[in-house]
Amino acid sequence: MTVKAFGAYAGDKPLEPMDISRRSVGPHDVGIEIAFCGVCHSDIHQVRAEWAGTLYPCVPGHEIVGRVSAVGAHVTSHKVGDLVGVGCIVDSCKRCDDCSDGLENYCDHMVGTYNGPTPDAPGHTLGGYSQRIVVHERYVLRVSHPEEQLAAVAPLLCAGITTYSPLRHWNVGPGHKVGVVGIGGLGHMGIKLANAMGAHVVAFTTSESKRQAAKALGAHDVVVSRNEDEMAAHTKSLDFILNTVAAPHDLDALFALLKRDGTMTLVGAPATPHPSPEVFSLIMKRRSLAGSMIGGIPETQEMLDFCAEHGIVADIEMIRADGINEAYERMLKGDVKYRFVIDTASLAA
C-alpha cells in the first residue's frame, strides 16, 4: 500500500513530501491509521546524519498514536477501532534474555521504528511522519487516555518512556531529591513523572524563559544552570540526576550536586561526546555515571497506564507536516514548549 509521508533524501536536504509503501498486514500484524506523531530530537540527529549510519530516504517519527484499521488473523491483543501507540521499537529477536525480560530496547536485534533493518521496501524502516504503519502486535501499545488527549499522548511513546524507565530503575520516589537537566521534550516529561512519583524535583535549564514554566510543570525548584550561585545552593544534595541535554556540556558541575552514592543517568544522545568528567567527581562521594535507552514494551505500557491514571500528557504545539523544517530549527534553539506534534491529516492536503 502506498501512503503519503514526509522525509529527507539526504542529510543536508530539508524534509519534503514523499510516497512510501507499507507491507500488507501479516498474521501477527496490526495496521494503524496514524493520527499524530511527536517530533523527537533524535529525529533531527538521525535525519541530518549527526549519528552514524543514516539510510535514505529517511522518514523519522517514533512517537506514533492512531487507530487500528486492520489486524492479522492471529492478533489477539488489539482490534479494529482501538486507540494505540507505537514508540521507538517495531521488532526484536523475541528470544534473547533481553526480550524474555521485556527489555526489547536492549535486544541486539532491536529494530527501530525508522532506520532499522527490514525486508520491507526500501530495506530499512520508515517512521511515523506518515499516514499509516504496519507493526507486529507485540510492539503496539494500548492507549487508555480520553481520545481528545490523543495528540498530547504521542510524546509519551518516546519522551515519556525514556524518562519513566530510568526514574523507575533508580527507584525515584518520596524522600528523593531529583534533578532533571534540559527542559525540552524529554525533560518536561521527566519533571511531570518524577513529581507524580513523589520526588522533590529540581529543574536545571539554560533558558531564563523556562524558569516559571518549569514550576508550572511540577518542578519544586528551578536552577538556571549558567548561574553559579544558584547551582551552588544545591551542592551535594541530589540523590539522582536525569540528564536529557542534546549537546555536549560540562558534567562535573552537575556531579558536584549529587550527594554520596548519587547517580547521574544520561539519556541525551549528543552527536559529539561530552568532555570526560574528572575522576575525582566520581570517587569522592562514590558517585555513579549511567545511561539508559528508551524502555521495554511492558514498561512502556506501564508508563502509558500510569500517565492515564495520573492525568499526565505532554505539553504540545501542533504543526502541519510541512512545518517540520521550521520546527527543527526552533527545537535547535530550545524554542518549543515542549513538544511539536504533527497532525498527520495535513499529509493528505
Distance CA 8, CA 56 (A): 7
- Minimum separation from the CB atom of position 310 to ligand NAP (A): 20
Side chain identity at residue 101, one-letter code: D
* Angle in degrees, 0-180, between the axes of helices 185-196 and 159-169, rounded to the nearest 10: 40
Check if the beta carbon of residue 167 is closer than 8 Å to that of residue 242: yes
Q: Which does 176 bind (CB under 5 to 8 A by kind): ligand NAP, Zn ion, none?
A: none
The answer to whether 342 contacts Zn ion (rule: CB under 5 A) is no
Question: Is 72 exposed, middle or buried, given 0-12, 13-18 or 19+ CB atoms closer than 10 A?
Answer: middle
Residues in the interface with Zn ion (CB under 5 A) total 3
Q: Which of residues 14-73 bind ligand NAP (CB under 6 A)?
A: 40-42, 45
Q: How far is CA 105 from CA 58, 113, 162, 300, in A?
A: 21, 12, 11, 11
Among 160, 179, 268, 296, binds ligand NAP (CB under 6 A): 268
Q: Which does 37 bind (CB under 5 to 8 A by kind): ligand NAP, Zn ion, none?
A: none
Q: In terms of CB distance, is 113 or 244 closer to ligand NAP?
A: 244
The answer to whether 334 contacts ligand NAP (rule: CB under 6 A) is yes
207 to 246: interface string for ligand NAP, x by CB under 6 A: x--x---------------------------------xxx
> By C-alpha distance, which of 127, 165, 166, 134 is closest to 42?
127
DSSP state of 30: E
Among 8, 42, 178, 327, binds Zn ion (CB under 5 A): 42
The answer to whether 297 contacts ligand NAP (rule: CB under 6 A) is no
Q: Helices in the chain by DSSP H: which ranges? A: 41-47, 97-100, 150-153, 159-169, 185-196, 211-217, 228-232, 252-255, 279-283, 297-310, 324-332
Residues that bind ligand NAP in the complex, under the rule CB under 6 A: 40-42, 45, 158-159, 162, 182-187, 205-207, 210, 244-247, 267-270, 293-294, 331, 334
Residues that bind Zn ion in the complex, under the rule CB under 5 A: 40, 42, 158
